[in-house]
């Protein structure tokens, strides 16, 4: 989930249609200042038979999305091109010896001088610029299956979680379910072990809530806003339960807004074909809403006998019906939610889900997210071709995301830590941490960002 792109939160620009551009094109590179930081820029062009130049790729450091050059013109030594449907423009003049290009880079109305100098193959910067998170003094490379495994380090895991949430928040200024959203619905549970979570994350959620409260609810029924409101409500409620130990006014406001956005079907609008597993399933999002309801201290008692109680019942009925699920993945989240929202499932139903999760455990002790749903069940099924084409498709390996989620759900459901199957899962985690502190998980969507890691 993201808002409008600006230069100060740029990461990498890659033209996928030119896979080997750096091997065939001439390279010019330079830097410009954005805020208090330097951003590296790389322009690659080839010389045509007519003697004019044609761009093949343009890279901006810390720019997240794939962007294509949509317009290019050259008149003598002067050139101009635009990217991202005209949001970004570069105008420059090539020197007679083609060693430099003096120009101006403009994005979303903000202009900076940008001189590009021609670089040799040996001195050219490696592109694309491969970062998962970058903000101030935090720079975390993109995940990779080749990242070195290390002996288990809880400190590295903790630092990655804390720094990643802050960096994502500062860099993008949005509630992202895969980073600060997950942080706020999980990190408060660790308060007895690690102390209070970072207050600036809660402050950010409250500030986002205030922005949404100032809008007419009907204007929030599109794109990512319902998802963000649900995560805000859940994050604040879980913070209340494990940090404040009382219901805060902000959580009450967030829950009220959340149910104003609830649809007649009991769920919330979501862009179904966006980014599974966390941005593609109204059902999965409903399990997050259930956690918000179940954790908010005393809130359920306050709404007894009101119209909101009927909306809560609608949510519970939706979850019990198990319609339009991302297979057993959403059922795993259902089990977790049922342990925090009393009465959602009975003991027998919970034990069926416990048995299901254990049935997917792999011989090495871990779990694989790809075993928890058919390719056609993720989102609208538009990732199926990509997933079936993966070389690991017949036997996908264990991954950090699903192994962690499975163990959390099982332990929350009362499976003791002494259970040999839990111990095997924990053993997998202890032996598969990577040097950044995270665990590798291949994205279900595209093999460039891997935010699920």
* Predicted pLDDT at 64: 64
Based on the number of CB atoms within 10 Å of its own CB, is 34 exposed (0-12), middle (13-18) or buried (19 or more)? buried
Mean pLDDT by 10 residues, the chain (453 residues): 34 34 74 79 92 90 75 93 89 95 91 94 84 86 93 96 94 90 97 96 98 92 91 98 98 98 95 83 97 98 96 98 95 98 97 98 98 95 92 96 98 98 98 97 84 88
- 143: tokens are 């995940």
Q: How far apart are CA 206 and CA 311, in angstroms?
A: 23
* Predicted pLDDT at 137: 85
Q: How far apart are CA 298 and CA 77, in angstroms?
A: 70
Under a CB-based contact definition with an 8 Å cutoff, are residues 378 and 280 in contact?
yes
Q: How far apart are CA 55 and CA 46, in angstroms?
A: 6
Q: How far apart are CA 153 and CA 179, in angstroms?
A: 20
The long-range contacts involving 354-359, CB below 8 angstroms and separated by at least 24 positions, are 354/410, 354/413, 354/415, 356/328, 356/331, 357/328, 357/332, 357/406, 357/409, 357/410, 358/410, 358/421
* Predicted pLDDT at 36: 61
* Predicted pLDDT at 389: 94
* Predicted pLDDT at 11: 30
Q: How far apart are CA 193 and CA 330, in angstroms?
A: 28
Q: Closest Cα to residue 233, out of 260, 203, 209?
A: 209
Q: Three-class SS of residue 13? A: coil
Alpha helices in 39-196 (DSSP H): 154-172, 182-186, 191-194
Q: What percent helix, strand, coil does the chain show, rounded to 5?
A: 40, 20, 40
Q: How far apart are CA 102 and CA 229, in angstroms?
A: 45
Angle between helices 400-412 and 327-340 in degrees, nearest 10: 40
Write phi, then psi, for 180 (nearest 5 degrees): -70, -25
Record the pTM.
0.82
Write phi, then psi, for 108 (nearest 5 degrees): 50, 40
H or E element that contains 230: helix 225-239
Torsion of CA 22, 28, 29, 34, to 10 degrees: -110
Domains and CATH numbers, the chain: 7-129 (2.40.128), 133-431 (1.50.10)
Q: Closest Cα to residue 165, out of 132, 209, 129?
A: 132
| Residue-wise DSSP of 303-356 | TTTSHHHHHHHHHHHHHHHT-S--HHHHHHHHHHHHHHSTTSS-HHHHHHHHHH
* Predicted pLDDT at 12: 34
**DSSP designation for 269:** -
């Amino acid at each position: 989930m993201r808002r409008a792109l600006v230069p100060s939160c740029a990461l990498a620009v890659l033209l996928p249609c030119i896979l080997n551009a750096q091997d065939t094109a001439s390279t010019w590179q330079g830097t410009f200042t954005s805020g208090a930081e330097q951003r590296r820029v790389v322009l690659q062009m080839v010389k045509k038979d007519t003697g004019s130049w044609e761009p093949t790729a343009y890279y901006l450091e810390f720019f997240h999305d794939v962007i294509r050059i949509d317009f290019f013109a050259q008149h003598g030594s002067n050139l101009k091109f635009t990217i991202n449907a005209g949001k970004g423009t570069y105008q420059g003049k090539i020197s007679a010896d083609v060693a430099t290009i003096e120009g101006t880079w403009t994005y979303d109305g903000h202009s900076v001088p940008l001189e590009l100098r021609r670089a040799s193959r040996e001195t050219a910067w490696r592109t694309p610029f491969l970062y998962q998170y970058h903000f101030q003094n935090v720079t975390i490379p993109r995940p990779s299956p080749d990242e070195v495994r290390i002996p288990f380090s809880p400190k590295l895991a903790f630092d990655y979680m804390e720094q990643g949430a802050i960096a994502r928040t500062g860099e993008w200024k949005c509630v992202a379910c895969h980073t600060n959203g997950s942080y706020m619905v999980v990190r408060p549970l660790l308060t007895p072990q690690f102390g209070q979570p970072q207050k600036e994350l809660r402050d950010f959620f409250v500030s986002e809530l205030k922005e949404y409260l100032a809008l007419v609810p009907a204007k929030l029924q599109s794109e990512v806003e319902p998802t963000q409101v649900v995560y805000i409500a859940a994050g604040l409620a879980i913070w209340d339960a494990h940090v404040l130990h009382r219901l805060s006014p902000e959580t009450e406001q967030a829950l009220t807004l959340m149910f104003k956005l609830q649809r007649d079907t009991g769920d919330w609008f979501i862009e179904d074909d966006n980014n599974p597993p966390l941005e593609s399933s109204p059902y999965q999002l409903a399990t997050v809403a259930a956690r918000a309801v179940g954790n908010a201290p005393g809130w359920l008692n306050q709404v007894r006998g009101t119209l909101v109680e009927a909306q809560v019942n609608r949510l519970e009925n939706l979850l019990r019906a198990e319609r339009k699920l991302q297979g057993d993945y959403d059922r795993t989240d259902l089990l977790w939610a049922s342990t925090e929202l009393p009465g959602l499932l009975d003991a027998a139903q919970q034990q069926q889900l416990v048995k299901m999760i254990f049935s997917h455990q792999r011989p090495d002790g871990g779990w694989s997210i790809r075993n928890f749903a058919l390719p056609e069940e993720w989102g609208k099924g538009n990732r199926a071709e990509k997933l079936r084409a993966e070389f690991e498709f017949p036997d996908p390996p264990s991954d950090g995301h699903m192994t962690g989620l499975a163990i959390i759900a099982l332990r929350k459901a009362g499976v003791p830590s002494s259970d040999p199957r839990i111990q095997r899962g924990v053993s997998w985690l202890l032996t598969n941490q990577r040097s950044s502190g995270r665990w590798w998980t291949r994205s279900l969507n595209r093999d460039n960002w891997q935010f699920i890691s």
